[in-house]
Amino acid sequence: MSRDEILTKLLSFGAISIVHTIQDVEAGRARRVSIPSIPGGSAFSREVLGFLRSLGAEVEFSTGFGGAIRLRHLGSS
């Protein structure tokens, strides 16, 4: 899935904060990011996560309860 397809789908779900996060990573303003749950199902979530990781981002999911879950690449410490 291309960048534009991902952004268009996120916008259609109203996930503006995730779009802004992607733009921040692309612009080099952020490397570690915390995002809420991604709408659109597990396959689309994997696409978004893969895209963010390809940009060099370290991604954490915000749990909504003051915590976060960090997702790391295999082999990273």
Give the pTM: 0.78
- Assess whether pLDDT exceeds 70 at residue 75: no
Domain extent listing, the chain: 3-71
Q: What does the pLDDT read at residue 74?
A: 44
Give CA angle at 7 (66, 2), nearest 5°. 120
Q: What does the pLDDT read at residue 64?
A: 56
Instruction: Please give, one letter per residue, the 3-state secondary structure of the chain.
Output: CCHHHHHHHHHHCCCHHHHHHHHHHHCCCCCEEEECCCCCCHHHHHHHHHHHHHCCCEEEEECCCCCEEEECCCCCC
Once rounded to an integer, what is the mean pLDDT over residues 7-24? 96
Tens of pLDDT, residues 23-72: 999 999 999 999 888 999 999 999 999 999 999 999 987 755 554 445 55
